[in-house]
Amino acid sequence: MTSTRRESVNVADIKLTAATLSAVGDIDIAGNRIIIRDDLSLVSVATPLGGEDALKKTLTAAFGLNIPAATLSSTAKGMRAVSMAPDAMLLIFAHATPDAEMHVRAKLGGAGYTTDQTDSMLAIEVSGPATMAAMERICPLDLHHGSFGKNASGRTVMQHMAATIIALGDAHFLLLTASSSAKSFLHALEKSYRNVIS
């Protein structure tokens, strides 16, 4: 026999906080750097139906950004726009307070639909002499500079985990992955570096 719980519970008494990997710190493996970029805010922007021109004008006026092409990111004034899907982009920028989405929404003034993605994704910056070899082991994209130059971006799967890769320079990348698999992703990345330098 089961009974029905009758007392009232206020779930507002529980405070949820994001668990970050910042305690791991920067990882240096023989001159190769893996940096968890918890200083970055991530805000997705979706284009309203029929609102392409308005969003394009507003994005340029507010942030100096162009709508990114499908395989490129655009940058201006310390902000990066990355194409995530047709009519959807991700804005990546440093923002000290937890109101990044409200900041973007106010600047866009209704020209785009915004969602804060900061706690749902992890940003990792990688660079160093063994970066290309380490990435080749776990990433199916051709990341060589001739194919994937500065500001190129792509979505792929790395070690069975979804990832977005943005080229910041030659053998220098920003990787985005779901925060729910962040520890596994970081482990796979670190292991790949260690395997190519041993």
What gap in Å lies between CA 101 and CA 140, rounded to an integer? Answer: 32
pLDDT of residue 16: 57
Domain boundary assignment for the chain: 24-197
Query: In terms of residues, how long is the chain?
Result: 198
CATH of 24-197, one of 3.40.50.460, 3.40.50.10860, 3.30.1360.120, 3.30.365.10: 3.30.1360.120
At 96-137, the pLDDT tens digits run 889 999 999 999 999 999 999 999 999 999 999 999 999 999
What gap in Å lies between CA 185 and CA 179, rounded to an integer? Answer: 9
C-beta of residue 114 within 8 angstroms of C-beta of residue 99: no
The set of residues, in sequence order, having a beta carbon less than 8 Å from that of 187 and lying 6+ positions away, is none
For residue 165, pLDDT over 70 is answered with yes
> Which is nearest to 75 in space by CA: 149, 143, 151?
151
For residue 176, pLDDT over 80 is answered with yes
Q: What is the mean pLDDT of the chain?
A: 92
pTM over 0.85: yes
At 55-101, the pLDDT tens digits run 999 999 999 999 999 999 999 999 999 999 999 999 999 998 899 99
Torsions phi, psi for 95 (to 5 deg): -150, 120
Structure tokens at 128: 């160093």
